[in-house]
Amino acid sequence: MSINTLKFIEGPYSYEVLFSKNHIKTTQIIEKIRQGKINEILNGFIRINDVGLIVEPKYLKNFANQYTYDLIFDYVDRLINHFLVTKCNTINMYVNIQSISFIDLEKNIGFLKNLATFFSSKYPNILNKCYVYNASILYETLFKMMKNFIDKETLAKLQFIKE
C-alpha cells in the first residue's frame, strides 16, 4: 500500500494535543509581524503534522490584507500540494477559530471566498474531515442558518468540537 492511499486515523483530537503547544498571544504575533518574521506567521497559520493540517486563523488577524493575500495564498497552495504528495490523498483539517470575530471574517471575506473557490477547483474532494474547535454560539448559529446552502457531502465532513 503506497503512502498516498493511507488515511489518517480519524480524530477528533483534543485541543490540548493539536493547539496548546503552538499557543501564542496576539501581542506576540504582532511583534513577529513588526520583526518581519513572515515564515513564522505563515507556519503558525497553517502547518502539517501527523494527523493532517492544523489551521489557526488568529495568526492572520493582523497580517492578512490586500498586500499579503498573494503571499498567504501561495504558501497555502504549496503546503497543501506538499501534503498531498508526501502524506496522503485526503486531508483532515483541524481549525481553531478561537479569538476570530465576525468583524475579522468580514474584513477578509473576499479573500476567503477566492481562497475557497480556488482550492475547491484545484483540489476537489480532498477534504476528508474538517474539525472546528472553539466555535462560539454565534458561529454555530450562523452555521445552522447557512447549512441549507451547503451540499450534504461537504456538510457531512464538518464537525464542531466542544471541550
For the segment 127-150, what is each residue's pLDDT rounded down to a tens digit?
A: 899 898 888 877 777 777 777 777
- The mean per-residue pLDDT over the stretch 44-60 comes to 88
pLDDT bin (cut points 50, 70, 90) of residue 112 is confident
The string of pLDDT tens digits covering residues 87-100 is 788 888 999 988 88
Assigned domain for 5 exists: no
Cis peptide before 124 (omega within 30 of 0): no
Kindly report each contact of residues 28-34 with a partner whose C-beta sits within 8 Å and lies 24 or more positions away, as own/partner. 29/58, 29/59, 29/61, 29/62, 29/63, 30/62, 33/62, 33/63
Assigned domain for 100 exists: yes
What was the pLDDT predicted at 163?
A: 65
CA–CA separation, 150 and 140 (whole Å): 14
Cα–Cα distances (Å) from 53 to 4, 91, 120, 158, in that order, read 16, 7, 16, 14
What was the pLDDT predicted at 77?
A: 92
What was the pLDDT predicted at 11?
A: 55
> Are 76 and 64 contacting, i.e. CB atoms less than 8 angstroms apart?
no
Assigned domain for 69 exists: yes
Assigned domain for 3 exists: no
Q: Is 128 strand, coil or helix?
A: strand
CATH number of the domain that residue 155 is part of: 3.40.525.10
Cell readout for 29 is 504575533
Assigned domain for 6 exists: no
- The mean per-residue pLDDT over the stretch 67-73 comes to 92
Name the pTM for this structure. 0.83
Assigned domain for 78 exists: yes
Assigned domain for 43 exists: yes
Cell readout for 143 is 452555521
Assigned domain for 137 exists: yes
Q: Which domain holds residue 157?
A: 11-161
Q: How many domains are contained in the chain?
A: 1
